[in-house]
């Protein structure tokens, strides 16, 4: 299945370098879908990109449910007990509001969290890649388990933090800022133009989406961005950040605020990372090649 063309959208092909936002000119020689401005950026991105590069366009077709049962979209699962990310088909249901005539979609994610009635996953949304100082290709919907003791640390995200480029320059052992517990599932959506106008729709993961997802889970909780944006906005005569900007969820007006701050700083600057810590003591799944 060729996922690069499955969405039939001009937004599928990147318009900037996957790593640094410069105009791209070099395609990945294997997949031909992700673009870079230089061999240096391509090399720097290789540890992350190779997880999906060879296998991305060869995934099996989605399950074919009855028409009344909705559809499936391709998401990314960061397993709790594996260092490799996985592509997964996620069933999408929903309902139609009779009064407004608007259809709302709902992702059925419980299977990826063990169908445990005690564990209720929560979602975070973001439209901004803070690591690359750019909008994400899709709106990210990140499903995770919050505030649950006893769950193991997410080994996949810890491993990706050690591979990720452009976040931390010097640490011997790179670690994510947030202590993700249990599995983490990322889905991708079109941007909403208004909850009661166009609430957005789920769509298949693309290669640029995968990079955005990795950057988010590794960088979420990085307080260095708040400091950077405060300084930039102060120089513009703006007041302190709103809560929805500073807490890491970049959606709606928060994105506009971040863009203004990013334009002021005018570059992607490394931020100071937390020192390494000693870490504390699983639908349809398609293993990616590592």
Assess if residue 143 is contained within a domain: yes
- Per the rule left: phi > 0, alpha: psi between -120 and 50, beta: everything else, 17 is beta
The domain total for the chain is 1
Assess if residue 183 is contained within a domain: yes
| pLDDT tens, per residue, the chain with 290 residues | 555 545 444 445 678 899 988 999 899 998 888 999 999 999 999 999 988 888 787 888 888 765 556 789 999 999 999 988 999 999 998 888 788 778 788 999 999 998 666 678 999 999 989 888 889 999 999 999 987 668 899 999 999 998 875 554 444 457 899 999 999 999 999 976 655 556 788 999 999 999 999 999 999 988 887 777 777 667 666 655 554 444 555 545 555 666 666 654 444 333 333 333 333 333 334 444 44
Residue 280: exposure state from Cβ atoms within 10 A (0-12, 13-18, ≥19): exposed
Assess if residue 145 is contained within a domain: yes
> Measured between alpha carbons, how far is 157 from 217 in angstroms, rounded to an integer?
7
Contact 184, 154 (CB under 8 A): yes
Phi, psi (5° rounding) for residue 206? Answer: -115, 170
Calculate the alpha carbon distances from 125 to 18, 140, 208, 250, 275 in Å: 21, 5, 17, 7, 27
CB environment 75-102: b (16+ within 10 A), e (fewer) = bbbbbbebbebbbbbbbbeeeeeeeeee
Assess if residue 97 is contained within a domain: yes
What is the sign, positive or negative, of the torsion defined by CA atoms of 240, 243, 248, 249?
A: negative
Assess if residue 90 is contained within a domain: yes
Pick the closest to residue 171 from 275, 16, 36, 90 (CA basis). Answer: 275
Assess if residue 81 is contained within a domain: yes
Domain of 135 in residue numbering reads as 63-222+273-287
- pLDDT tens profile 42-95: 999 999 998 888 878 788 888 876 555 678 999 999 999 998 899 999 999 888
Assess if residue 191 is contained within a domain: yes
> Measured between alpha carbons, how far is 9 from 92 in angstroms, rounded to an integer?
20
> Measured between alpha carbons, how far is 241 from 221 in angstroms, rounded to an integer?
15
Calculate the alpha carbon distances from 48 to 80, 102, 114 in Å: 18, 38, 27
E strand or H helix at 156, and its extent?
helix 155-163
Contact 152, 281 (CB under 8 A): yes
């Amino acid at each position: 299945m060729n996922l690069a063309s499955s969405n039939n959208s001009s937004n599928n092909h990147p318009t900037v370098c996957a790593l640094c936002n410069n105009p791209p000119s070099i395609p990945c020689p294997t997949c031909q879908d992700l673009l870079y401005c230089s061999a240096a950026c391509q090399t720097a991105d290789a540890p992350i990109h190779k997880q999906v590069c060879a296998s991305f366009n060869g995934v099996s077709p989605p399950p074919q449910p009855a028409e009344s049962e909705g559809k499936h979209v391709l998401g990314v699962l960061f397993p709790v007990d594996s260092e490799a990310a996985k592509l997964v088909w996620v069933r999408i249901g929903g309902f139609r509001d009779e009064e407004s005539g608007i259809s709302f979609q709902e992702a059925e994610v419980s299977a990826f969290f063990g169908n445990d009635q005690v564990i209720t996953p929560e979602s975070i949304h973001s439209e901004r890649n803070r690591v690359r100082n750019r909008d994400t290709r899709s709106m990210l919907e990140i499903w995770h388990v919050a505030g649950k003791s006893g769950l193991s640390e997410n080994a996949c995200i810890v491993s990706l933090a050690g591979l990720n480029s452009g976040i931390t320059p010097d640490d011997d052992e790179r670690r994510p800022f947030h202590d993700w517990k249990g599995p983490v599932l990322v889905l991708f959506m079109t941007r909403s133009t208004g909850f009661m106008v166009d609430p957005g729709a789920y769509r298949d993961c693309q290669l640029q989406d995968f990079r955005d997802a990795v950057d988010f889970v590794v960088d979420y909780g990085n307080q260095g961005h708040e400091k950077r944006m405060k300084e930039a906005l102060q120089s513009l005569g703006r007041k302190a950040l709103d809560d929805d900007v500073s807490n890491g969820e970049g959606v709606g007006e928060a994105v506009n605020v971040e863009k203004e701050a990013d334009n002021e700083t005018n570059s992607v600057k490394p931020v100071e990372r937390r020192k390494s810590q000693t870490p504390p003591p699983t639908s349809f799944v398609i293993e990616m090649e590592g």
